[in-house]
Chains A and B, each alone.
Chain A
Amino acid sequence: MISPFLRTAAAAAALLAGAALVAPAADAQQPKHGGTLRFVMKYEPPTLSALNNTSTPTTSSKIWDGLVTYDIDLKPLPMLATSWSLSPDGLQYTFNLREGVTFHDGKPFTSADVAFSIMRLKAGHPRGRGTFANVTEVKTPDAKTAVVVLSKPSPYLLVALGPSESPIVPKHVFENFDVATPPGPPQHIGTGPFVLKEWVRGSHAVLDRNPNYWDKPRPYLDRVIIRFMPDAAARAAAFEAGDLDLGGLAPVPLSDMERYKTHPRLAVDTRSFAYTGAQHQMFINLDTPILKNKKVREAIAHALDLQAIVDTVFYGYAKVSPSPISVALSTWYDPAVQARKFDVDLANKLLDEAGHPRAAGGMRFPLRLLYNPFIDARLAEFVRQSLRRVGIDATTQNLEFGAYVKAVYTDRAFDLTVESLTNVFDPTVGVQRGYWSKNFRIGLPFSNSAHYENPEVDRLLEAAAVEIDPAKRKQLFSEFQRIVHADVPSVDMISPLEVIIANKKIRNYARGAEGLGDNFADVHFVD
């Protein structure tokens, strides 16, 4: 049997070379066994599993496999499923499962586990309820075949089955385990390349090599240590001291990144990964009377220099992403949607026309500008200053996360909010929630905070959600992007790059679209 990863190995090597990491061809052929990878995460999740939690893609995939995994272009590759087919009506996915796979506790992996996992993800995963909403049942005609039956076509289903999003868990362990409780160490049993050995809360988790992994001779590493370090300076110090090998999501301050680029031991790897679909946008509260006027919203968009945001706030580690669908989702982003020209005069003119002349003191009207505290506060500061230039007296408020979520999504006590509604791997799953009128839900985090209502947009989103022809679906999303861009319920700004810092001696840590959600089975050290 040909390993699915052999095919990706070449692609990964090419990528690494592209990222200025010199990867001699010989390494890809004869990786050496052994070594401990020290991986850092910023925050400690309540569980390492992605079964009912979406903050854990980079830990879950090491312990649990998915049915499929992806190459860098989001093309599905075999993982626990060796092959699959879709019925012509788009209502039945048949997965043929891998033989001879066992869970960490020695029990065999069968189609019953697949059926159980998918229904459990539908019941308990924060995104799973949406992703698997159309799944009516999973049939298991035999131990190595699983048939997912849908009530409506779900074109995004196959991209939702990666290990970092939809882990396949053992039925015998989770059957009697509460749907909503974060799985603890006794439940950390999967088929993945690494086995949980120890988890010291607030400090680290130790994962040991799974000697019975189906993808022999992988995994190459003996051990992966995941350290949870919330302080950027501490992470930087640990990297410098040689205590860490790998970290994602810009583990050290971007302002320090130049230093790491010339570091003898460490490399900076900047890519964007389609599975994350990173996107920062500013939602405009359409319930605010002044902002109901489209000219005002356009003026706000014209007042922002997106390229300057990329260059200054993000030190160049981002891309301008002017459409509601992130440029990171290259399959769906429509390049015809371009950023509004940065033009202070035009913005001023539009605001004058909208009937908001500058009063004494030079300001036209005040606005409350909030920002998600997980985003660099300087982005909100940049927006604030840009708006003041055109006479909008924006005031920012620094709220910690719980207070922020309540202010925006429950109290709606904001006019503009700089958000980070990531697009994840598919617009139906990641983008629709922000613009679909039926998802205007008071009290629901990351819903339609602008209170945007456009029947045509609703129709396009709903049609795209069940369209199985990729070309037609792309067209629907293109139209959606053009309409939303014209309506300006949000100013879509930038897509931050992943920014990984890695020990120069490690290879293949992010082979596919899942980025560091890779299962690390192919990670190895070179001399």
Chain B
Amino acid sequence: MTIVPIDGKVVLEAVRTAVDRYGATRDELIPILNDVNREIGYLPGEALDEISRLLRVPKSHLFSVASFYRMLSTKPRGKHVIQFCESAPCHVAGGREVWMAVKEALKIDEDETTPDGNWTLVTTSCLGVCGVGPVMMIDDDIFGNVDAKQVQSILARYH
């Protein structure tokens, strides 16, 4: 995949904004990581270095936290991230067919990114909108009652 080199300044600025917002204390670590992850799309090494310096927390600890939570990523992701719910309620409601359709449409498998860097496909546990399963989330938008036939038109909205 093509990885757009990230600007070191942008990373540092994102980190400083987040630390200013929450304060440089250890109990705000997860909110800070969350903000930086949202801003840049993932947590690059430079970001972890800077957070480590500002919060006086070892980088090994930061990495252990960053790699633990599903919403944080230490690897670059595509422009849009699809989170597909693979929990039982969506599965029973026909989630498997939709999952196959998404994989087919993007020609990638779970945890992969398309060669053009547009899409990353990940599975997730329940998103809490089970009343309208099968459910998938693209960036911050939730799509419910998804049908395998609708997949193409939903994806087409993101370009």
Whether chain B is bound by chain A comes out as: no
